[in-house]
Amino acid sequence: MARMKFLCDSDRCIECNACSTVCKNEHGVPWGILRRRVVTINDGGPGEKSIATSCMHCTDAPCIAVCPVNCIYQTDIGIVLHNKDICIGCGYCFYACPFGAPQYPQASNFGSRGKMDKCTYCAGGPEKPGSEAEYKKYGRNRIAEGKLPLCAEVCSTRALLAGDGDIVSQIYRERIVRRGYGAGAWGWSTAYYSSQAVQG
């Protein structure tokens, strides 16, 4: 069965923030919360790279492991979702996540920061798909409509990839081979890939 994943190609990301903006607009995300954000490393210097980051819907998600009320769960296609009705705002998931995905609408003390919010991979939540209640709490359910997350669909350079993890990784592998570098870190020459491309 397919497992849905995100991948951001830092060589293609141009830091336009379209993914972040469209996510906020599509789902009515509360002020102060960004389900997806663009991070730039070495900003303005040599080797500058940008990457769009959000919940990466980990296969073995640490947020699920630490949640004391089991409000975070994983669907059968690998999307990590949460149930705002039982979230107690403890912040364990916030500290466990290496991507800083879980966020809270209020910067206050333990238990009073509100219900956690995070990227839903445009898959809504535990309510009936497409219902008003689901939209109000989690935003639009594009997965139920047979579509990919909107952030990936609007990416003009196709830096942000979303979908079946096997297909996403295959696309990225093909890009690396075409670029003629990346594998050099492992001591392989691009001549090997060129010869394989001619033979294959």
The listed range with the strongest mean pLDDT (38-47, 149-158, 174-183) is 149-158
pLDDT in tens, 94-111: 999 999 899 988 766 655
**pTM to 2 decimal places:** 0.81
CA distance 24 to 2: 27
Q: H or E element: which one contains 80?
A: strand 80-82
Q: Averaged over 164-184, what is the pLDDT? A: 82
In this structure, the dihedral spanned by the alpha carbons of residues 126, 154, 31 and 97, taken in order and rounded to 10 degrees, is 60
Q: Give the pair of three-digit tokens for residue 78.
A: 């690998």
24, 138, 141, 150 from 133: Cα distances, Å = 18, 8, 11, 20
104-159: pLDDT as tens digits = 887 666 556 788 999 999 998 888 888 888 888 898 899 999 999 999 999 999 99
pLDDT at 194: 47
Q: How confident is the model at residue 89 (pLDDT cuts 50, 70, 90)?
A: confident
The answer to whether 115 touches 93, Cβ cutoff 8 Å, is: no
- Can you list the domains of the chain with their CATH numbers? 4-199 (3.30.70.20)
Q: Which pLDDT value is given to residue 197?
A: 47
